[in-house]
Structure formats: C-alpha cells, structure tokens
Amino acid sequence: MIDPAWGPLLFDASAEGWLMRSRDPAVHDWLAQYLRRHQVNISVMTIVERVRGYALLWQGATEDRRAAIEAARVAYLQQLGRVQVLDAGTAVVAGELMAMLPHPPTPPRRAHRLVESRQDRLARWRFDILIAATALVTRMRLIHNNAEDFETIRGAIERSPDRFPGLGPLELIRCTLVV
C-alpha cells in the first residue's frame, strides 16, 4: 500500500485512467485522500496524449456524441493540476534515453482485432521517455500502469548512472499497488 501522504507524484496517463476507472472503493478513497494533500502533477506530454485522444474520438464520432466528447475534453482541461513543462534538463535526459533505448521494449498493442501501428508505438515509447525524464528531473515519483515501458527506462538509468549525473534513481509506483 502507498501512503497517500507521499507526494507529490507525477501521474502518467495510464495511472490517471486506471485510478479513475477502477471500481474498487478503496482505490477511489486513496485518490481522494491523495488529492486532499497534493495536486495532480502531470507532464505536458500527458496533455498531448489526452488531447490527441479526445480529438481522434471526436473525429470518428457521430454528431450527437461529439458534444459529450467535447464536454469531457473541457472537463479534463479545466482540472489539469500542475503541469510540468519540458525544459532543457528534461530534454537532455530524454535525448540520452532515446539514444540508449531507440526501440520500444514491447510490440505494438492489440485489442479486439485492432492493432497499434509501429509509428504510434514508437511515438508512445518516446512520449513515455519524455514523461520519465520529467519525473527524474523534477525528482518526483512516477505513478503509472505501464510497467513494460517505465521499468525498461528505470533499468537503463540504473545501468548508466554516469549519463545522468546528480539524478536518479527513477522511482516508480505501479498504480495497481496503491491499496
């Protein structure tokens, strides 16, 4: 169990989504307790992922569904919490990581006869590197539900501490373990 007083945490989109969609009352209680103490911190890259998601949903939606999608998008943008922008330090760390880890650690996702394109998988991998770099530079623990990507990044940082002087380790929290 993770003490909700720990924090602030950097929330990956995978963790935000999992925590909000969980049907476990203990998870909702944990999130409520966390929010009484801290703001939600997110990387600016998480906004890119979410807004792209809303836009793609809107493009593929019928006219009567579009209003609900737009309302959801507005609700999201109205409560962003604290947004961590990409600065020079984050860019340096991310560049090092992208050179060390040019390929995603797992193949594109599949679900219901649908598949993620290679380009989208690579883009998502690079987004995750930027988010992990943000956590490292801001010295925040990263809460996520994407162990494959973030554990790979953590491992690379641990194996090459000389490339990340004064930083690290990357501290990860799997959102499924908060309660």
Neighbours of 144 (CB within 10 A): 27
- Based on the shown chain and the rule CB under 8 A, indicate whether residue 115 belongs to the binding site for another protein: yes
| Residue with Cβ nearer another protein (9 or 164) | 9
CB 130 within 8 Å of CB 45: yes
- Residue in 3, 37, 106, 161 binding another protein, rule: CB under 8 A: 37
| Residue with Cβ nearer another protein (103 or 113) | 113
Query: How many angstroms separate the CA atoms of 96 and 90, rounded?
Result: 10
Query: Rule CB under 8 A: which of 49-88 touch another protein?
Result: 49-50, 52-54, 56-57, 68, 71-73, 75-76, 78-79, 81
Query: How many angstroms separate the CA atoms of 153 and 73, rounded?
Result: 30
Closest approach of another protein to the CB of residue 26, in Å: 15
| Among 141, 129, 145, CA closest to 13 | 145
Provide the angle, in degrees to the nearest 10, between the axes of the packed helices 13-21 and 25-37: 130
Which part of the chain contacts another protein (CB under 8 A), choosing from 44-52, 82-90, 134-142, 164-172? 44-52
Residue that has been written with the tokens 């720990």 in this structure: 6
Residues that bind another protein (CB under 8 A): 13-14, 16-17, 20-21, 28, 31-33, 35-37, 40, 46, 49-50, 52-54, 56-57, 68, 71-73, 75-76, 78-79, 81, 109-117, 120, 124, 127
